[in-house]
Amino acid sequence: MSTAPVLELAGVTKHYPGTPPVRALRGIDLTIRSGELVGIVGPSGSGKSTLLHLMGTLDRPTAGDVRVAGHAVADLSDRDLSAVRARSIGFVFQQFHLLDGYTALDNVADGMLYTGRPVRERRELAAATLDRVGLGHRITHPTNKLSGGERQRVAVARAVMGKPAIVLADEPTGNLDSKSSEDIVDLLRELHAEGITLVVITHNREIADRFPRRVALRDGAVESDSAVGDA
Ligand code: ADP
Ligand code: MG
């Protein structure tokens, strides 16, 4: 039995201006359902980050439809799109994107500023979420004093704390040594087992092979999708 779609892309293209223009995505059809853990794999330049930006409503397609948590991106103003993004999507990036000099707790609690919830409530939830990702003993550490693997755990805690419909991660292990990478992959698998929907971009096939569904991109098109059988 299949669950509700969280993310639907139909005929999505993305061209970047230039002479000639760059055809970064050339007609992507892809549906991600609630509770899935999907690895998107492909060589450098295949369009992975462009795809993540469109899935994350950080950019709009040149043509085609993107629907996130039931909202058609094309129907929304930039302002409404920001609200959908804040409520529905959690992001994890290769470079962590944390505020250095602030504690792990502040970094995670600030991720829910948009909710307008009282600071005490946000900090309690942030502490519980840091505990859940294995950082209960590091909550008052400034994030620049943490190891790479620990920093990425903080970023994962920030991404999942607001219970988004989907978490999108772009090369989350790209800056980590192999042991820390494995730990982060294990953490993402645990979160999936708890019911969180995740899309993880990687150029590393070994990492993608640890995810239940794998979508391979090549030259801006889906080359194979384990959910529909390899073409
Ligand atoms: P990947 O993440 O798989 O390495 P990208 O999505 O970053 O691939 O890039 C896909 C293609 O689009 C590449 O040829 C890249 O050079 C090009 N590209 C990406 N972003 C831009 C941009 N802002 N302007 C022009 N070209 C871009
Ligand atoms: Mg990329």
- Write the pLDDT tens digit of every residue in 167-202: 999 999 999 999 999 999 999 999 999 999 999 999
Q: Which of 26, 46, 50 to mutate to test the pocket of ligand 1 (most atoms within 8 A of CB)?
A: 50
How many angstroms from the chain centroid is the CA of residue 215?
A: 15
How many helices (H) and strands (E) the chain has is answered by 7, 10
Region 110-126: mean pLDDT is 89
Region 133-140: mean pLDDT is 96
Q: Is the pLDDT of residue 97 over 60?
A: yes
CA-proximal residue: ligand 1, atom 14 (nearest)? 45
Interhelix angle 148-161/178-193, nearest 10 degrees:
20
Please tell me the number of Cα atoms within 13 Å of 6 on its side-chain side. 24
- In this prediction, residue 177 carries a pLDDT of 96
Q: Is the pLDDT of residue 230 over 60?
A: no
The predicted-structure confidence for 25-54, as pLDDT tens digits, reads as follows: 999 999 999 999 999 999 999 999 999 999
Centre of ligand 1 to C-alpha 231, Å, is 25
Please tell me the number of Cα atoms within 13 Å of 136 on its side-chain side. 4
- For 49-52, the CB contacts below 8 A with 24+ separation are 49/170, 49/201, 50/14, 50/24, 50/25, 50/220, 51/25, 51/201, 51/217, 52/168, 52/170, 52/199, 52/201
The predicted-structure confidence for 72-84, as pLDDT tens digits, reads as follows: 999 999 999 999 9
- In this prediction, residue 231 carries a pLDDT of 45
- In this prediction, residue 116 carries a pLDDT of 84
Longest dimension (CA), the chain: 53
- In this prediction, residue 229 carries a pLDDT of 63
Q: Give the mean pLDDT of the chain.
A: 95
Q: How far is CA 61 from CA 31, 191, 207, in A?
A: 16, 29, 28
Q: Is the pLDDT of residue 111 over 90?
A: no
The predicted-structure confidence for 141-159, as pLDDT tens digits, reads as follows: 999 999 999 999 999 999 9
Looking at ligand 1, which atom is closest to the CA of residue 16?
25
CA-proximal residue: ligand 1, atom 25 (nearest)? 16
Centre of ligand 2 to C-alpha 48, Å, is 5
DSSP annotation string for 59-96 = S--SEEEEEETTEEGGGS-HHHHHHHHHHHEEEEETT-
- Measured CA to CA, the distance from residue 220 to residue 107 in angstroms comes to 34
Centre of ligand 2 to C-alpha 45, Å, is 7
CA-proximal residue: ligand 1, atom 12 (nearest)? 24
How many angstroms from the chain centroid is the CA of residue 149?
A: 17
Region 95-99: mean pLDDT is 95
Q: Which of 15, 41, 49, 55 to mutate to test the pocket of ligand 1 (most atoms within 8 A of CB)?
A: 49
Q: Check: CB of residue 212 under 8 Å from CB of residue 18.
A: no
Q: In the chain, what percentage of residues exceed pLDDT 90?
A: 93
